[in-house]
Amino acid sequence: MASTEDDERLVDLLQQARNDELETVINYQTNALALSGVEAQEIVDSLSTDVQEELDHAEEIGERIGVLGGKPRGSYDIEMSQESLQPPAEATDVLTVVEGVIEAEGDAVSTYEALVDAAEEADDPVTEDLATELLADEQEHLAEFEGFREGLLDE
Ligand SMILES: [Fe+2]
Ligand SMILES: [Fe+2]
C-alpha cells in the first residue's frame, strides 16, 4: 500500500507527463497543418493519428491523478517548452518536424520509464501498469519516426 508521500510524488510525475502530452497534442496538430507537399503526406497522417493517441494519454493520466488525490491542471498551470516542435519556416521541411517528434517521443519514453520505476518503488501496480502501457505507445511512436527519418535521409 502506497503512503501519502508516495502518492504525492507519483501525482507530481503524472502532472508533468500530462503537461507534456497536452503540449504534444498542440504541436503535432500544428505541424500536421504546417506541412505540405507529396513527401509530407505520410508524416501528416501519422501526426494526425498520434494527436488522438496523445490526447487519450492525457485523459488516462488525468483520471489517475484524480484517483491519487490530485487535480488535473488547466491551461494556466501548463508549461510550454517544446522548442524543437515549433512549426518549420518552410512547409516542405519534413525532416525538421520528424526530428522534433523524435526528440519529444524520446523525452516521453524517459518520462514513462521514470514513472514505471517510481510506481514500482511506491508499490502502486495500477500506476505502474498505466505507465508501462504509455511507455509502449511512445516507444512505437519513436520507432515509427526514426523509420521516417531513415527514409528521408536515404533519399
Ligand atoms: Fe503520449
Ligand atoms: Fe507519443
Q: Coil, strand or helix: which one is 125?
A: helix
C-alpha cell at 127: 500506476
Q: What is the pLDDT of residues 48-69, one digit of tens each?
A: 999 999 999 999 999 999 999 9
Measured in Å, residue 13 CA sits from the centre of ligand 2 at: 17
CA separation for the pair 30, 85 (Å, rounded): 9
**What span, in angstroms and rounded, lies between the C-alpha atoms of 135 and 107?**
11
pTM as predicted: 0.95
Domain ranges of the chain: 4-154
CATH superfamily of 4-154: Ferritin, core subunit, four-helix bundle (1.20.1260.10)
From the CA of 48, how far away is ligand 2's center (Å)? Answer: 11
Cell of 124: 502502486
Residue ranges in the chain whose pLDDT is less than 70:
1-2
**Angle between helix 94-121 and helix 4-34 axes, rounded to 10 deg:** 170
Summarised one tens digit per residue, pLDDT across range 80-102 is 999 999 999 999 999 999 999 99
* 151 Cα: distance to centroid of ligand 2 (angstroms): 20
